[in-house]
Amino acid sequence: MSKFRKKSGSGDAPGINTASLPDIVFMLLFFFMVATRMREVTLQVKVTKPGATQSVKIASEDRNKVISVYVGKPTKANLYGSAARMQLNDVIADLKDVGPFVLEEMNRLPEADRKKAFVSIKADEEISTGIITDIKEALRDVDALKIQYGTRKTASLY
């Protein structure tokens, strides 16, 4: 039993060596830097995308060709009301802003990408379709015909 007797003197456990802690944290840091991408906007509307089984993944090389329009109920109801609104970049906007916004974003893209650019309508599943119809009409007015309904990938509907 005497083998297990504590050394006389200091009763403290020896300190854990933390010299490799920075290495571990840096490894995690690099992983997150490589595997993730920056958030583009701060959402001011609540968006839960509807599920769809036939959803197509946007390839990473096409990410810069996406022009996003978010639609949903504003999170700040006291500022923007409780009806569904659309968000372009970082601001809540009206229907008349959609056309100019899309054209402006289109112009910002390099010329080679403009033909492949598309508008992604990311709308909340609880809203009514009227506002989506309005947006589609506005897009047709400015000849931005390639669109995509933002969805969640689900395995099966039933």
Partner 1 sequence: MGRRSRKPLPEINSGSMADIAFLLLIFFLVTTTMDQEYGLPRELPRKVEEKIPPPPVKERNVLLVYVNRNNELLVNNEYGDVKSLKERVKTFIPNKTNRTDWPEKEAPEEYGSDGNTFVFQKSKGIVALQNDRLTMYKTYIEVQDILTQAFNELRNELAKEKYGKSYDELSELADKGQTDDIQEDASAKIEAIQKAIPMAISEAEPIKSK
Q: Do 149 and 139 contact (CB within 8 A), yes or no? A: no
Residue 147: CB minimum distance to partner 1, A: 5
Q: Do 45 and 87 contact (CB within 8 A), yes or no? A: yes
Q: Which of residues 49-88 bind partner 1 (CB under 8 A)?
A: 50-58, 63, 66
The answer to whether 124 contacts partner 1 (rule: CB under 8 A) is yes
Residue 115: CB minimum distance to partner 1, A: 13
Torsion of CA 31, 49, 134, 62, to 10 degrees: 30
When the beta carbons of 104 and 126 are compared against partner 1, the nearer one is 126
The answer to whether 108 contacts partner 1 (rule: CB under 8 A) is no
Report the Cα 17 to chain-centroid distance in Å: 40
Q: How far apart, in Å, are the Cα atoms of 79 and each of 11, 68, 83?
A: 62, 22, 11
State whether residue 2 is helix, strand or coil.
helix
* Angle of helix 130-141 versus helix 98-108 axis, rounded to 10: 50
When the beta carbons of 6 and 39 are compared against partner 1, the nearer one is 39
The answer to whether 113 contacts partner 1 (rule: CB under 8 A) is no
For residues 119 and 135, what is the distance between their CA atoms, to the nearest angstrom? 10
The answer to whether 21 contacts partner 1 (rule: CB under 8 A) is yes
The count of chain residues that interact with partner 1, using the rule CB under 8 A, is: 55
Stretch that binds partner 1, among 4-12, 27-35, 99-107, 109-117 (CB under 8 A): 27-35
Binding site for partner 1 (CB under 8 A): 18-19, 21-22, 25-26, 28-29, 32-33, 35-39, 50-58, 63, 66, 118, 120, 123-130, 132-133, 136-137, 139-141, 143, 145-153, 157-158
